[in-house]
Amino acid sequence: MLRYHDREWGVPVHDDRKHFEFLILEGAQAGLSWSTVLRKREGYRRAFSDFDPEKVARYTGKRVQKLLGDPAIIRNRLKIESAVRNARAFLAVAEEFGSFDSYCWRFVDGRSRLNRWKAMREIPATSRESDAFSKDLKRRGFRFVGSTIVYAHMQAVGMVNDHLVDCFRYREIRRLESGVIRALPAGRRRRTERPQDR
């Protein structure tokens, strides 16, 4: 969780494969803790073809059955089947808009929403934008994309900056808007908050 918080959470993403990865992981997380999913992330990477939506979209019922026996992932039939269905919908969106990235960032007018939370209890589970994004994804055939899951996606891919204002990452991620970011130095300490278990 620390490594994820310090290096990934809230960093603006503009890579379709990374968007797809988070959509799979966030769908898998529904009803569970995010830490559970992070522990299985490498298992998901292997099971879902390094998060390549074109490959996942071609998964057959036989492949789904095989994944149901894979202890490295969360073995829930609905979640696994939804990942395959979502891969197909993901490719359709990318075809329509040029990329999934172009599509999703429209919901925040192409710029990260900069929040100013001072306490974890202030961070919402949903927003007006996540409601609209979720509704549109569902209309396009996606599953496991309720507003709470979509808001988690927006947090993960930097569409919103929900680090607390006194967290060192809040300022670093703000600088990303102007293209200035450095890798976290080894041993750098550390956070004042973490991504909530969603």
CATH classification at residue 110: 1.10.340.30
Return the DSSP state at 108: G
The verdict on residue 58 lying in a domain is yes
The angle at the Cα of 13, spanning 10 to 15, to the nearest 5 degrees, equals 160
Query: Domain count of the chain?
Result: 1
Quick check: 182 pLDDT over 60?
no
The answer to the question of residue 194 being in a domain is: no
Residue 39 lies in a domain: yes
What is the identity of the amino acid at 63?
R
**Structure confidence at residue 93 (pLDDT):** 98
Domain with 70 in it = 2-176
Average the pLDDT over each of 38-47, 94-103, 171-180 and give the range with the smallest value: 171-180
Which pLDDT score, from 0 to 100, does residue 68 have? Answer: 97
Q: How far apart, in whole angstroms, are the C-alpha atoms of residue 27 and residue 148? A: 11
- Catalytic residue list contains 170: no
For residue 154, being part of any structural domain is answered with: yes
**Any domain includes 24:** yes
DSSP secondary structure, 42-88, as one string: HHHHHHTGGG-HHHHTT--HHHHHHHTT-TTS---HHHHHHHHHHHH
Q: Pick the catalytic residue from 4, 8, 81, 177.
A: 4
Q: 34, 44, 59, 105: which one is catalytic?
A: 34
103 is catalytic: no
Does some domain include residue 118?
Answer: yes
- Residue 175 CA to residue 152 CA, distance in Å, equals 21
pLDDT tens sequence across 96-124: 999 999 999 999 999 999 999 999 999 99
Active site residue 81: no
